[in-house]
Structure 1
Amino acid sequence: MPRESHRRVALLSLATAVPPHILQQEEAKALARALFGLRMRLFEQLEPVFDNAGIARRHIVRPVEWYHGDHGWKARNHVYLEAAEALYVEAARGALDRAGIEAGEVDCLVTVSTTGIATPSLEARVAGKMGFRADAERVPLFGLGCAGGVSGLATAARLAAARENTTILFVTVELCSTSIRLDKLSKANIVATALFGDGAAACLLRSGESEGLAKIEGGGELLWPDSLGIMGWEVEDPGLGVIFDRAIPPFVEEHMAEAVERILGKTGIDRDRIGRFTCHPGGAKVIAALEASLELAEGTLDHERGVLRDFGNMSAPTVLFVLERLLQAGMPARTLLLALGPGFTVSGLSLARA
């Protein structure tokens, strides 16, 4: 049986948002070919990654013509701030409306974003537009990458559990397309161009609540030693440079099962009580590696493949897009959210159906 947290924390609502511009995978391949192909002999060797990524389309914050331009830090971050604020508001209002809660009732705002710099942070920048209280606590989190959807939700749940009748809004916004470096010739950048899109997700939590979509039970994180070079950002003059090692799928296949056992050990939940794993779909090969490591039948992670197909890898919000589909389809008695991110790390969080 799970170890009960001090206070019950309910997931009251979940909402997602994407920017208006849609990039078909064939368009992404043509863009990469135009910008990389004439300058990099290896492009033809790596071009099949666009066909094998399991992605049909993704949403991006600017028309495709913008990505042909030469953009430095200032221009990229200007686009990030403008688009991230808009997506924050759309996702947050969606979560509030679905829960029937006013913005002024929110006690604490937890925000996860790693694809741009916002100081003041995003929740402060939109506070007036949203109608947040002046005394609402703010907890912006940076550097979590793809794991941020689970790590951020877990942080929000711990904060909610610390005080009775506390309402917390968790929002994660990632605009990967503003950080993709089409000027830098590297295998990682070609893979990133094939995989990443933009999106946002918001969750509303409340402690002491027995209703809602699910009860958040608890979870854990695991940081593998000497793995900093697997995933992350390099800070460079024109913008962020992606670190995306080809060793990720075999690493996941070798180590994920043990990591899950250790996370479940912290919660006191036996694996056979998990009705479904709800995973961040980092890519088609990562999904296959997760199924192999967790001894799941091929095709089990169907919602993950569906989200990857329709939205690409949006970093932190992506796992919450998967959870949204699971909730719509009918959540089992218990699911374990899982996401991998820079560190190299895995985050897990158990949710029980309300």
Structure 2
Amino acid sequence: MSPTLCRPALWFPENTINLEETLNLCRKLHGGHEKLQAVLRMIENTGVKKRHIVQPIDATLLHPGVEARTEIYQRETRRNLPGVVDEALRSADVHKDDIDAIVYVSCTGFTMPPMTTWMINELGFRSDVRQIPMAQLGCAAGGAAVNRAHDFCLAYPDANVLIVTSEFCSLCYQPTDSDVGMLLSNGLFGDAIAAAVVRGKGGTGMALSWNSAYLVPNTEEWISYRVKDTGYHFQLDRRVPRTMSMIAPTLRQFANQQEWDVSSLDFYVIHAGGPRILDDLSDLLGVPTEAFRHSRSVLSDYGNIASAVVLAVLQRFFDDGSVTNGGRGMVAGFGPGITAEIALGTWRAPAGREEGNGTTGEAHRGPEQVASLSPALIAR
């Protein structure tokens, strides 16, 4: 059997800001900006109707310093992460003693030792759990976390891996930044914590068959942090929304290598960085707009929640029951680099559920056959 990505759990802060409030704040704070009207149109076009933020908006707009923001990040993560982890473990039907590795992802807060150390000490995980912190892949890290958990379970077939993402994008707000990319980001990103378990054996959800990654050459400055005395300053190049034309051929080629047609999969867990990305990817892959409905709804309801997006999208497929046993699917996360992290797998329904209409055929290499492949072939 191939490793299975089980149902994710998510937490969102109680503080929210809606689209109209975001637009009004932009008018108030940047009323004299020469490109204000263009910025307002771009924020409206994101499709983001509401975002959750870890502090009330008045506090969010202040910058108390890097030390204070780091304290907020640590406090709020430690306060809210345990419940998310417990829910993810229950959904996967495993206990803390069953976890052999923890992949912890965040690009919006930094600690050393990593948060995995605190989790082992305070939440009851075994002291020999492998720690895999990930801090610099931004939004792509959600897909990367799934893939590294997959790799770990291939190396240790009886292992179970816990994935945790904690993203408080609002803590990276910089009051002095007024370039167009930054102003757009102020209306796009939201906060969330997410967790999911990848089981080496058993479980229900997405049975992970293959994973891959792709770096678009010479785009490393398109999404980046500029580190200053005031912390992380997010840099977003205007060319970013057009990157799908550079990535879509790789997605198609990767599926073709497994003798799958990327245009006719049964489910797509796509990072919702913005509506242009989803629109272009739909056109370039020949995928109906409806296939990306959960990516769009997560973007609308929560904004771009960085590495937590793919888990939020995946949760909606669990909850709507639209994917039947054996259905083929893709996970794709995009972020700085420009990096794409990609996974392919089939839906594993609970035992006893009637076989559905997932695409199958003799050319498909199923999970039981994947187990016989070398890790190098699986991750190619």
Do these two structures clear the TM 0.5 threshold for a shared fold by scoring above it?
Answer: yes
SS at match of 2:146: helix
C-alpha distance in structure 1 between counterparts of 2:131 and 2:279, whole Å? 37
Shift of 1:270: 4.3
Confirm or deny that 1:96 pairs with 2:89.
Answer: yes
Shift of 1:250: 2.0
What's 1:338 paired with? 332
> Normalising by the residue count of structure 2, what TM-score does the alignment of the two structures yield?
0.86
What's 1:185 paired with? 178
What is the letter of the counterpart of residue 223 of structure 1? L
**Equivalent residue runs for 1:1-354 within 5 Å:** 8-38=2-32, 40-207=33-200, 209-252=201-244, 254-265=245-256, 267=258, 269-271=260-262, 274-329=265-320, 330-332=322-324, 333-354=327-348
What's 2:353 paired with? none
Would you say the 8 A contact 2:209–2:345 is kept in 1?
yes
CA RMSD of superposed structures (Å): 1.8
C-alpha distance in structure 2 between counterparts of 1:168 and 1:97, whole Å? 14
Would you say the 8 A contact 1:255–1:293 is kept in 2?
no
Structure 2: gaps of 5 or more residues:
349-380
C-alpha distance in structure 2 between counterparts of 1:214 and 1:185, whole Å? 42
C-alpha distance in structure 1 between counterparts of 2:272 and 2:289, whole Å? 14
C-alpha distance in structure 2 between counterparts of 1:105 and 1:54, whole Å? 40
In 2 relative to 1, CA 238–258 (structure 1 residues): closer, same or farther, beyond 3 Å?
Answer: same
SS at match of 1:317: helix
Residues 111-143 of structure 1 deviation map (CA, whole Å, 9 limit, x = unaligned): 111111111111212333321111211111111
Would you say the 8 A contact 1:87–1:199 is kept in 2?
no
What is the letter of the counterpart of residue 233 of structure 1? Y
Would you say the 8 A contact 2:92–2:203 is kept in 1?
no
Would you say the 8 A contact 2:268–2:291 is kept in 1?
no
C-alpha distance in structure 2 between counterparts of 1:42 and 1:310, whole Å? 27
C-alpha distance in structure 2 between counterparts of 1:186 and 1:172, whole Å? 28
Would you say the 8 A contact 2:172–2:232 is kept in 1?
yes
What is the letter of the counterpart of residue 29 of structure 1? L
C-alpha distance in structure 1 between counterparts of 2:148 and 2:303, whole Å? 25
C-alpha distance in structure 2 between counterparts of 1:106 and 1:8, whole Å? 17
SS at match of 2:173: coil
SS at match of 2:196: strand
C-alpha distance in structure 2 between counterparts of 1:255 and 1:129, whole Å? 44
In 2 relative to 1, CA 163–126 (structure 1 residues): closer, same or farther, beyond 3 Å?
Answer: closer
Would you say the 8 A contact 1:13–1:96 is kept in 2?
no
Shift of 1:312: 0.4
In 2 relative to 1, CA 305–272 (structure 1 residues): closer, same or farther, beyond 3 Å?
Answer: closer
SS at match of 1:170: strand
Aligned residues: 345
Would you say the 8 A contact 1:15–1:95 is kept in 2?
yes
> Normalising by the residue count of structure 1, what TM-score does the alignment of the two structures yield?
0.92
Would you say the 8 A contact 1:231–1:245 is kept in 2?
yes
C-alpha distance in structure 1 between counterparts of 2:280 and 2:212, whole Å? 21
What's 1:3 paired with? none
C-alpha distance in structure 1 between counterparts of 2:10 and 2:157, whole Å? 27
In 2 relative to 1, CA 46–273 (structure 1 residues): closer, same or farther, beyond 3 Å?
Answer: closer
Residues 252-299 of structure 1 deviation map (CA, whole Å, 9 limit, x = unaligned): 1x2232110233355554436622322111112221111122122344
C-alpha distance in structure 2 between counterparts of 1:248 and 1:290, whole Å? 13
C-alpha distance in structure 2 between counterparts of 1:130 and 1:61, whole Å? 22
Would you say the 8 A contact 1:76–1:239 is kept in 2?
no
SS at match of 1:168: strand
What is the letter of the counterpart of residue 247 of structure 1? R
Would you say the 8 A contact 2:269–2:314 is kept in 1?
yes
What's 2:355 paired with? none
C-alpha distance in structure 1 between counterparts of 2:67 and 2:79, whole Å? 19
What is the letter of the counterpart of residue 341 of structure 1? G
Would you say the 8 A contact 1:340–1:347 is kept in 2?
yes
Would you say the 8 A contact 1:197–1:314 is kept in 2?
yes
In 2 relative to 1, CA 251–205 (structure 1 residues): closer, same or farther, beyond 3 Å?
Answer: closer
Would you say the 8 A contact 2:206–2:347 is kept in 1?
yes
In 2 relative to 1, CA 155–267 (structure 1 residues): closer, same or farther, beyond 3 Å?
Answer: farther
Shift of 1:216: 0.9
C-alpha distance in structure 1 between counterparts of 2:183 and 2:340, whole Å? 25
What is the letter of the counterpart of residue 36 of structure 2? F
